[in-house]
Chains A and B, each alone.
Chain A
Amino acid sequence: QVQLVESGGGVVQPGTSLRLSCAASGFTLSSYGMHWVRQAPGKGLEWVALLRYDGENKYYADSVRGRFTISRDNSKNTLYLQMNSLRVDDTAVYYCAGGSGWLSRYWGQGILVTVSS
């Protein structure tokens, strides 16, 4: 049974950093493309970043490029999202998701990140 569990969220001030984690069980992260997707309160879904199965190719939304970095630790079977220079409009529930190719077949339950002064 595939399970993705996000952690690391919380309340932070604008301009600071936060690292989200997504621990996977029931499947091997390095075999799949993995995404971060976010949802601002009361809003729709916004794709944030993709790490291809090869671990080399990374893609980002324009809104986070240069501030966020997606990565993974194969030994821990865990995906990360390093978020720097956080802004108020980064406030959202962040989901990790993954599957074959670029399809988001499996989703975590989400973790809330609040950026507020």
Chain B
Amino acid sequence: ERVLTQSPGTLSLSPGERATLSCRASQTIGNNYFAWFQQKPGQAPRLLIYDASSRATGIPDRFSGSGSGTDFTLTINRLEPEDSAVYYCQQYAHSPLTFGGGTKVEIK
């Protein structure tokens, strides 16, 4: 099983700042089948990034993904109050599919 470790656990930033979220896999993720999701309280997760760096439909270009192999990053530029949420990484290359534990982004 590929364990995904997200860091930091919580990120507290001001509007306009940049957030950098990391996710490290215990083994290489094949084909860069790696995704990032945003989840707000009481809502279902929303796909932000897939294939490590492709933005999903309707996602602002403030969100970008990068990385390969075992290290992946989600960057959120020019933070807005609506970006307050928990962000999860996921690998969908290997069964069992696995999620990271999540990073909570708080907007001051």
Which residues of the partner chain B approach A37 to less than 8 Å between Cβ atoms? 45
Please determine whether B44 and A103 come into contact, CB atoms closer than 8 angstroms: no
Please determine whether A108 and B44 come into contact, CB atoms closer than 8 angstroms: yes
In angstroms, Cα B98 to Cα A61, docked, is: 9
Which residues of the partner chain B approach A46 to less than 8 Å between Cβ atoms? 99
Please determine whether B88 and A35 come into contact, CB atoms closer than 8 angstroms: no
Q: How far is the CB of A63 from chain B (nearest CB, A)?
A: 9
Our pick among B88, B92, B95 for the contact of A103 (Cβ within 8 Å) is B92
Evaluate whether A102 and B33 lie within 8 angstroms (CB atoms) in the complex, with A44-B88, A45-B45, A110-B44 already known: yes
Who on chain B is nearest to A100 by CB?
B50
The reply on B25 being an interface residue by CB < 8 A is no
Which residues of the partner chain A approach B86 to less than 8 Å between Cβ atoms? 44
Q: How far is the CB of A43 from chain B (nearest CB, A)?
A: 9
Please determine whether A104 and B88 come into contact, CB atoms closer than 8 angstroms: no
Q: Work out how many contacts link A and B, with CB atoms closer than 8 A.
A: 60
Please determine whether B44 and A45 come into contact, CB atoms closer than 8 angstroms: no
Q: B interface, how many residues as a size bin? A: 20 to 34
Who on chain B is nearest to A105 by CB?
B47
Evaluate whether A105 and B50 lie within 8 angstroms (CB atoms) in the complex, with A45-B88, A95-B45 already known: yes
Please determine whether B90 and A104 come into contact, CB atoms closer than 8 angstroms: yes
- Which residues of chain A (47-102) have a CB below 8 Å from chain B? 47, 50, 59-62, 95, 97, 99, 101-102
Who on chain B is nearest to A33 by CB?
B92
Our pick among B39, B44, B98 for the contact of A109 (Cβ within 8 Å) is B44
B interface vs A, CB < 8 Å? 33, 35, 37, 39, 44-47, 50, 56, 86, 88, 90, 92-93, 95-102
A interface vs B, CB < 8 Å? 35, 37, 44-47, 50, 59-62, 95, 97, 99, 101-105, 107-110
| 8 pairs from A and B in contact (CB 8 Å cutoff) | A47-B90, A59-B97, A60-B96, A101-B92, A103-B47, A104-B45, A104-B47, A105-B47
